[in-house]
Structure 1
Amino acid sequence: MVETEIFKRENNSFILVNSDVIGNVTTDWFTPEYWGDKASLVGSGGRGGAWFIKAGDKEFVLREYLRGGLASHISRKTYAYTGEHNVRSFSEFRVLNRMISMDLPVPVPVAAWYRKVSPIQYRAAIIIERIKGATPLADLIGKLDSGDWHALGQTVRRFHDADVRHADLNCFNVLMVEKDFFLIDFDKGCIMPPSSRSNWKADNLNRLARSLKKVAGDAALNRFWNVFLNGYEGSSAA
């Protein structure tokens, strides 16, 4: 669990820093140009706007918050400012901290930034630790065996049992390292109240199934989805 959360202010920019990981973060860190050849664009999934960066002997991921869909035609990089408690980067930073304290497999947050570009708009970015040796599920679908799919079902169930709602559970936001799975990109993710209705869990599973179907097709999904659900429901892998 993150024990020391440092708040910094530089002009119209605001930063949260996980000093358990690193302490000397400035606003420049959230600009890929600052890193020069130590930054490389992440190429798998997402909307772009994410870079692998090297800070000394550490490796991080820098991700800008970008709009998609119709909203992106109005403003690609700015969001309505309705109070710091609603800023997307700060919210994701803190929900990641909470999941780390629950011992859930997520990347450690390093720092979160936002800058007010007007009284009613802001831009934001986040830096998280890079999970070394990780491969997106989308690139592994045809290579996983029944045990892997069963384990993935168990992993997703751990998040749901902790009332963690991932806002975009798709096969690019699931990473695998050897035999372990991690979930990433918790923009708009949250810890749901225990008393909340459980429809969101079924919605999560359906979203993942649609993503897998889009990448692998119906036949592949039919081969492994029941095994995944067995893992999720606590049944045997057979």
Structure 2
Amino acid sequence: MMMQEQIREEAGGAMLFDASLAPAADVRWFDRGYWQQRDALRVQSGGRGGVAVIDTPAGACVLRHYHRGGLVAKFNHDHYLWTGAAHTRSFAEFRLLAHAAGLELPAPQPVAARYRRHGLSYTADLITRRIEDAHTLAQCLAEGRLDADLARETGALVARFHREGIWHADLNAHNVLVTAGALYLIDFDRGALRTPAEAWRLANLARLRRSLVKLGAIERIADFQATIWGPLVYGYERTLGA
């Protein structure tokens, strides 16, 4: 089904949604209390502030409020500088995910996004379809399930996005989801379309490697370079050149 992007203005902000998927979406969908009252809210740990899983008319979805990270978060929890609606974190991620969906790339399906103005700043939220029965690559590593085959599949996954010029701003083992039938990339906050270039592609891969090393991959897996990273790079290069 072709996405039908619509924007609905609200007091102090606006929401963007896929009318083909969620024609009944409204601003209440971004309120956890709204879903809690309907016994349709499940809160899971992970990420800044946790993740809310909501049971919507469009199916099970993930509701995410954008939170600041790093030192800035100590004095600014969730406000971002206003530079226009198209540049809000939520609208930008929604549209990048919609672009990925149009290319049939394995990423969360965007349902709705919202921003709310607060003078020179704004806050933002995003709703995406939930990927069911998934484990992160980080969990697979911790459980001893990261092997050469999964590494090759991971490399191929990343290459599919890079081939289309999609740069992931935070490519790490927590943002690769593994299901019985497929792998997915998630959390495209600050991601962007870029002109294909070896430099940013290699930097993206290096970020993923640092993530695995930080999670103890070298200590957990004998000869990590040969048994995991080598196959991952092989899967990446084979798919990138296909």
The question of a shared fold, defined as TM-score above 0.5 by the shorter chain, is answered with yes
What letter is aligned with 1:130? R
Question: Residue in 2 aligned with 1:40?
Answer: 42
Question: Residue in 1 aligned with 2:164?
Answer: 162
Task: Indicate whether 1:212 and 2:197 are aligned.
Answer: no
CA RMSD of aligned residues (A): 1.7
Q: CA deviation at 1:42?
A: 2.5
Q: CA deviation at 1:35?
A: 1.2
Question: Residue in 2 aligned with 1:54?
Answer: 55
Task: Indicate whether 1:108 and 2:109 are aligned.
Answer: yes
Q: CA deviation at 1:57?
A: 7.0
Deviations 1:79-126 (A, max 9, x none): 0001112111000000111111111101110000000011x1100000
Question: Residue in 1 aligned with 2:232?
Answer: 228
Return the TM-score normalized by structure 1. Answer: 0.91
- For 2:84 and 2:75, locate their aligned partners in 1 and report how far apart those are by CA, in whole Å: 21
Q: CA deviation at 1:132?
A: 1.2
Note closer, same or farther for the CA distance 1:127–1:2 as it changes in structure 2 (3 Å cut): farther
What does residue range 55-94 of structure 1 map to in structure 2 within 5 Å?
55-56=56-57, 58-94=59-95
Q: CA deviation at 1:13?
A: 2.4
- The question of whether the paired residues in 1 share the 8 Å contact of 2:22 and 2:58 is answered with no
Identity within the alignment, %:
37
Q: CA deviation at 1:49?
A: 4.2
- The question of whether the paired residues in 2 share the 8 Å contact of 1:61 and 1:128 is answered with yes
- For 1:106 and 1:80, locate their aligned partners in 2 and report how far apart those are by CA, in whole Å: 27
Question: Residue in 2 aligned with 1:125?
Answer: 125
For 1:24, what is the secondary structure of its paired residue?
Answer: coil
For 1:143, what is the secondary structure of its paired residue?
Answer: coil
- The question of whether the paired residues in 2 share the 8 Å contact of 1:13 and 1:27 is answered with no
- For 2:3 and 2:179, locate their aligned partners in 1 and report how far apart those are by CA, in whole Å: 26
For 1:51, what is the secondary structure of its paired residue?
Answer: strand
What letter is aligned with 1:202? L
- For 1:89 and 1:152, locate their aligned partners in 2 and report how far apart those are by CA, in whole Å: 26
What letter is aligned with 2:122? Y
Task: Indicate whether 1:152 and 2:154 are aligned.
Answer: yes
- For 1:100 and 1:21, locate their aligned partners in 2 and report how far apart those are by CA, in whole Å: 13
Segments of 5+ residues of structure 2 without an aligned counterpart are none
- For 2:97 and 2:198, locate their aligned partners in 1 and report how far apart those are by CA, in whole Å: 21
- For 2:83 and 2:34, locate their aligned partners in 1 and report how far apart those are by CA, in whole Å: 29
What letter is aligned with 1:48? G
- For 2:170 and 2:41, locate their aligned partners in 1 and report how far apart those are by CA, in whole Å: 25
* Range that drifts further, 94-103 or 32-41: 32-41
- For 2:213 and 2:43, locate their aligned partners in 1 and report how far apart those are by CA, in whole Å: 26
- The question of whether the paired residues in 2 share the 8 Å contact of 1:39 and 1:52 is answered with yes
Note closer, same or farther for the CA distance 1:213–1:114 as it changes in structure 2 (3 Å cut): same
Question: Residue in 2 aligned with 1:31?
Answer: 31
- The question of whether the paired residues in 1 share the 8 Å contact of 2:21 and 2:58 is answered with no
- For 2:51 and 2:2, locate their aligned partners in 1 and report how far apart those are by CA, in whole Å: 23
- The question of whether the paired residues in 1 share the 8 Å contact of 2:176 and 2:184 is answered with yes
What is the number of equivalent residue pairs in this alignment? Answer: 231
Deviations 1:115-149 (A, max 9, x none): 0011x110000000001111111111221332221
- For 2:203 and 2:188, locate their aligned partners in 1 and report how far apart those are by CA, in whole Å: 16
